Amino acid sequence: MNEELLKKIIEKKEFSQLPKKDVELVFEKFENKELNDYQKLKLTRDLLRKIYSSFSSRKLLREVKGRDVEWFLNKHKSTKERLPFYGDIYKKIFLGVTEKEISVIDLGAGINGLSYNFFPKNLKIKYIGIEAVGQLVDLMNKFFLNEKINGKAIHESLFELEKIKKIIEKQKRPRIVFLFKVIDSLELIERNYSKKLLKEIVPLADRVVVSFATRSLGRRSEFSARRNWLINFVEENFNLVDDFEINGERYLVIEEK
């Protein structure tokens, strides 16, 4: 792609720490259209903003001192909605897990790593969060360091599939992989990538948890689309261990057949 345009696209702070891979994939949607460079730049930024800013707050992209964990979780749209329910969500996700030491790999983590203290107290969890927005990676790593938590955030694109697989494979079993509200963003960038990703990572994990919104952020209205394509794909290719909904977010807990 045009390297000069790439530099201009990421000049804005909100895009400055996105993986080059993600920016290139979004730009490719407009690269060959009959548009001038300004139009391509604007459309790329607009789509990146839709993909990433829909679940993050610009307040989280700035250095904020003296704030507690709950303040941060309330400033991130998805974690704000989960905040009163994290205990119930994790209780259901880890139901039936008998091992005491578990690796959690959170793909497209946002700032979900800050919910670490909501994990069941009887489990010893090593948390790995993989996130494309570099500022959120820094925020999580500061939290882990300050709280002396066995956690690490990694700045990486979910479209770097081989790198993602290597990160998962390095973690001790049992491995539980989270994909919370990530599917829609992946599909906006590359159609059917979610299916490809799940086929590659489910065999590497003992359990994968995929979630998606059933109502829009900030509104109580239900979506008409129920992600039937995703549910059908999961049922055809994997074992659906659990399927539950909490506060407008549906969770599919799946395992390899």
Domain ranges of the chain: 3-52, 68-256
Structure confidence at residue 150 (pLDDT): 96
pTM: 0.90
- Classify domain 68-256 at the CATH topology level: Rossmann fold (3.40.50)
- The shares of helix, strand and coil residues in the chain, as percent rounded to the nearest 5, are 50, 20, 30
What span, in angstroms and rounded, lies between the C-alpha atoms of 164 and 155? 11
Give the tens place of pLDDT for each residue, 22-74: 999 999 999 888 899 899 999 999 999 888 864 455 566 555 555 788 888 88
Sign of CA dihedral 182, 187, 190, 196: positive
∠ CA 27-76-227 to the nearest 5 degrees?
Answer: 65
Pairing relationship of beta strands 151-155 and 124-131 according to DSSP bridges = parallel
What single string gives the DSSP state of each residue in 19-34? -HHHHHHHHHHHHTSS
Residue 203 has a CB neighbour count (10 Å cut-off) of: 13
Q: What is the pLDDT along the chain (257 residues), one digit of tens a residue?
A: 678 888 888 888 888 889 999 999 999 999 888 899 899 999 999 999 888 864 455 566 555 555 788 888 888 888 899 999 999 999 999 998 888 899 999 999 999 999 999 999 999 999 999 999 998 999 999 999 999 999 999 999 999 999 999 999 999 999 999 999 999 999 999 999 999 999 999 999 999 999 999 876 555 445 445 688 999 999 999 999 999 999 999 999 999 99
In the chain, beta strands by DSSP E: 101-107, 124-131, 151-155, 175-180, 207-213, 238-246, 249-256
Query: What is the predicted pLDDT for the residue at 75?
Result: 82
Task: Please tell me the predicted confidence (pLDDT) of residue 224.
Answer: 44
Tokens of 219: 């509104």
